């Protein structure tokens, strides 16, 4: 994923920001333990949100411990303890990194492609372990990439068609967070709309670069930012409508902030030409 699902930090309480950072740091630590230190680079804000959402729907409360961080070794910081939800998030992050690597090997030109050629053996090796742990989502990721390439190769494909592979994959992921049928339907719809949101954000973010490089971008006009802002607002509204049907046990303040403030803040920054990364 790309890091577009993030909180609007000025409106987070201190304790909520501490919770968010603890989950992020816990995922970072789990990635390093599971796949090696370089795997930390695959972590994004998106997976912090997904982990918090999954944990918020469980009965058992998340647990934490104070650990030292390689980036800030002087003082121990609170980390989410490794758990099934955090391990799964890390494994899926690696699987998606493998798909991104394969996509970039096809699309990037020399000399940028050299970096991905060098990284591919390490990424593919880590992905083998992740695929063994999450075979169902391994199939989802591969299917997403296959369908994405087919959609992008179709000259008649509209924005709905090219968004659908990412949206469907994310809907499948979120639906797996619950065994309750009603919650699964809500999570699938929420995930589908968030997948559309991520794809649209990435398209808006890369619009000018893709236009200059002659690369594929489903948005035809670099100047038509008001239309893209409207599309993103509609997608965010649909995602929030589904989210509001859930009853999170934990992280309610952070999740509310991300859904009702963070998504729109990111969309606004992108459509106004400001960076979010």
State the chain's mean pLDDT as an integer: 91
Residues 152 and 105: their CA atoms lie apart, in Å, by: 16
Residue with tokens 């992008």: 152
pLDDT at residue 277 greater than cutoff 70: no
Q: Which uninterrupted H or E stretch holds 65?
A: strand 64-69
pLDDT at residue 116 greater than cutoff 80: no
**pLDDT band at residue 222 using 50, 70 and 90 as cut-offs:** low
Name the 3-class secondary structure at 67: strand
Question: How deeply is 89 buried, as exposed, middle or buried, from its count of CB atoms within 10 A (0-12, 13-18, 19+)?
Answer: buried
- Cis peptide bond upstream of 111, omega within 30: yes
CA-based nearest residue to 40, from 135, 126, 112: 126
**How much is the pLDDT for 54?**
97
**How much is the pLDDT for 223?**
64
Q: Which domains does the chain have, with CATH numbers?
A: 9-271 (1.10.600.10)
**How much is the pLDDT for 2?**
75
User: Average pLDDT, stretch 49-75?
Assistant: 91
Residue with tokens 């994959």: 169
**pLDDT band at residue 154 using 50, 70 and 90 as cut-offs:** confident
Residues 269 and 123: their CA atoms lie apart, in Å, by: 31
**pLDDT band at residue 208 using 50, 70 and 90 as cut-offs:** confident
pLDDT at residue 30 greater than cutoff 60: yes
CA-based nearest residue to 203, from 152, 169, 134: 152
Q: What are the beta bridge partners of residue 69?
A: 72
Q: Cα angle at 202 between 225 and 227, to 5 degrees?
A: 20
- The pTM (predicted TM-score) of the whole model is 0.93
**Contact at 8 Å (CB) between 265 and 257?**
no
Enter the tokens of residue 258: 């991300």
Read off the pLDDT of residues 94-112 as tens digits, 9 standing for 90 and up: 999 999 888 877 766 667 7
**Contact at 8 Å (CB) between 3 and 45?**
yes
38-47, 102-111, 184-193, 251-260: which range is least confident on average? 102-111
Residue with tokens 């390093």: 32
**pLDDT band at residue 17 using 50, 70 and 90 as cut-offs:** very high
Percent over 70 (pLDDT), the chain: 96
φ, ψ of residue 168 in degrees (nearest 5)? -65, -45
Sign of CA dihedral 276, 54, 139, 81: positive
């Amino acid at each position: 994923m790309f890091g577009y699902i993030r909180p609007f930090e000025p409106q987070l309480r201190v304790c909520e920001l501490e919770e968010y950072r603890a989950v992020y740091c816990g995922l970072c630590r789990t990635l390093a333990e599971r796949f090696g230190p370089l795997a930390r680079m695959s972590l994004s804000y998106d997976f912090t949100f997904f982990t918090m959402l999954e944990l918020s729907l469980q009965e058992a409360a998340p647990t934490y411990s104070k650990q030292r961080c390689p980036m800030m070794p002087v003082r121990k910081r609170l980390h989410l303890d490794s758990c099934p939800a955090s391990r799964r998030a890390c494994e899926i992050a690696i699987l998606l990194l493998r798909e991104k690597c394969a996509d970039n090997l096809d699309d990037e030109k020399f000399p940028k492609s050299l970096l991905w050629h060098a990284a591919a053996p390490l990424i593919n090796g880590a992905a083998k372990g992740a695929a063994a742990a999450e075979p169902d989502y391994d199939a989802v990721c591969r299917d997403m990439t296959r369908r994405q390439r087919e959609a992008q190769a179709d000259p008649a494909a509209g924005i709905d068609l090219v968004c659908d592979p990412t949206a469907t994959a994310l809907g499948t992921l979120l639906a797996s967070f619950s065994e309750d049928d009603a919650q699964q339907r809500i999570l699938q719809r929420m995930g589908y709309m968030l997948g559309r949101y991520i794809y649209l954000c990435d398209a808006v973010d890369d619009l000018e670069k893709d236009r200059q490089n002659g690369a594929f971008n489903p948005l035809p006009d670099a100047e038509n930012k008001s239309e893209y802002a409207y599309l993103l607002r509609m997608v965010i509204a649909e995602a929030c409508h589904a989210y509001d049907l859930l009853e999170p046990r934990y992280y309610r303040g952070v999740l509310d902030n991300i859904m009702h403030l963070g998504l729109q803040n990111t969309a606004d920054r992108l459509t106004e030409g400001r960076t979010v990364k």
